[in-house]
Amino acid sequence: MKIDILVAEIGSTTTVVNAFNGIDSSSPEFIGQGQAPTSVDQGDVNIGLKGAIDDMKKSLNIDDLEYGKLLATSSAAGGLRMTVHGLVYDMTVRAAKEAALGAGANLHQITAGKMRRTDVKKLKEINPNIILIAGGVDFGERDTALYNAEIIADLNLDIPVIYAGNVENQEEIREIFKEKQTELYIVDNVYPKIDQLNIEPTRKVIQDVFEEHIVHAPGMTRVRDMVSGSIMPTPGAVMQASKVLKDEIGDLVTLDVGGATTDVHSVTEGSDEVNRILISPEPVAKRTVEGDLGVYVNMENIVERIGKKDLAKRMNITEGEVEGLIDNHKPIPKSDDQKRFVEELTKEAVITSIRRHAGHFRDLYGPGGKKTVAEGKDLTKIRYIIGTGGALTRLPNRVSIMESISKNNKGNELFPGEYAKILVDNHYIMASLGVLSVEQPKAAVELLKKSLEIENIEICCKEE
């Protein structure tokens, strides 16, 4: 059997491959899926890749499989580990953080101001894949970014460094890293003016650097032997898919509830009314990751948030039965009680992560009286709430879980409204289509519409 494109999602524990045909036609197809344990610990991810392909061949009931191209996303070997070093936390540091998260990074260290010895010690212990230095608006403060660059350069680490700070420092930064083994990338300032974000150039470079240097991660040394196309961090691929889809159907938020984390990706400019009273700028495409909200690895954190007594009440069972579900918790729930248990965990993860991601109104009092301002990301113009990841694509009550978002608005929160339509990534291929969209955007959009069951959404939106 001949397949146009395979996309591998190389996870920390599982590698999944998705097959697509008709990529150059007006009606591309999702052919099938296979999975196998990721083989990072064996020093060669190709073992897991081949295992996943063999599993797909078995599910398709075929003996031979040829493919034109193999793309990949990866969260294996710790994913994209980054550290960010800026000037003022609420300004340049936050801008750099948004760029890194939007590219799919896992942030292991964030520093504001001049780095201390303890910061340097932690940086060396983290051994990140990429270091991002920012600081100062263009033609503003220069010294902090230069100081941090000198400190990092003196470590002479074999780690790529991206500089995205004050444009006046660019030549000096080049001199600082001139004779170091560190590979340096100079990008436009992420915060060129007060209240102005410019994170897209940095986000793109982060993903390019990740693709170029991923082969240095443990167990990933032979990844390029099989992957002939693009490689992206898995969360970055979900964001990319969300951005491409937003251009087609309108403002959206994508929720990815996993075993260890819950990711929220929103793509919206927000409303004019809120933007007029917004205290500080927000990126159009924003990602937040909640490391304490996972329905398997971090299950006990969510149970603690809900409380065993309330959880038993919600499920109409005894606290003893709740204890039994906790003690016998599995990555994939099988029984009805196990599914209901995970649904309650998922609902809590969804509401909490949206609450942390979204902004809110706040009243300020001064000599002129009360003034209402807005802080954080405005989701009030969201038209579509998309569920991806295992929980929100497989649980029986996944739609009602996402419908509960607007009902849990405390009144001052910038949540999506009740009119937002719920969509489900039924084929669980959003990350794969994100990386596919880099090379085949039209095919990726069509396949997204099919998985979300919205083939006619573009016509619908134009009629509105």
Residue-level pLDDT, tens digit, the chain, 464 residues: 999 999 999 887 788 999 999 999 999 999 999 999 887 677 678 888 899 999 999 999 999 999 999 999 988 766 789 999 999 999 999 999 999 999 999 999 999 999 999 999 999 999 999 999 999 999 999 999 999 999 999 999 999 999 999 999 999 999 999 999 999 999 999 999 999 999 999 999 999 998 888 766 666 777 777 788 889 999 999 999 999 999 999 999 999 999 889 999 999 999 999 999 999 999 999 999 999 999 998 999 999 999 999 999 999 999 999 999 999 998 889 999 999 999 999 999 999 999 999 999 999 998 888 999 999 999 999 999 999 998 999 999 999 999 999 999 999 999 999 999 999 999 999 999 999 999 999 999 999 999 999 865 544 444 34
Q: Could you name the CATH architecture of 2-77+218-229?
A: 2-Layer Sandwich (3.30)
Whole-number pLDDT of residue 463: 38
d(CA 412, CA 262): 23
Q: Is the pTM of this model over 0.75?
A: yes
14-21 β-sheet, strand order = 29-37, 14-21, 2-10, 66-74, 231-233
Answer whether 69's CB lies under 8 Å from 5's CB. Answer: yes
Task: Quickly name the fold that domain 80-216 has.
Answer: Rossmann fold (3.40.50)
Domains 2-77+218-229 and 80-216 share a fold: no
d(CA 150, CA 154): 6
Task: Quickly name the fold that domain 233-443+455-463 has.
Answer: Nucleotidyltransferase; domain 5 (3.30.420)
Q: Which helix (H) or strand (E) holds 15?
A: strand 14-21
Whole-number pLDDT of residue 48: 87
Burial of residue 462 (number of CB atoms within 10 Å: 0-12, 13-18, 19+): exposed
Whole-number pLDDT of residue 456: 56
What contacts 262, CB < 8 A, 6 or more positions away?
255, 256, 289, 290, 293, 294, 349, 350, 352, 353
Q: Is the dihedral of CA 100, 102, 104, 107 positive or negative?
A: positive
| Domain range summary for the chain, segments of one domain joined by + | 2-77+218-229, 80-216, 233-443+455-463
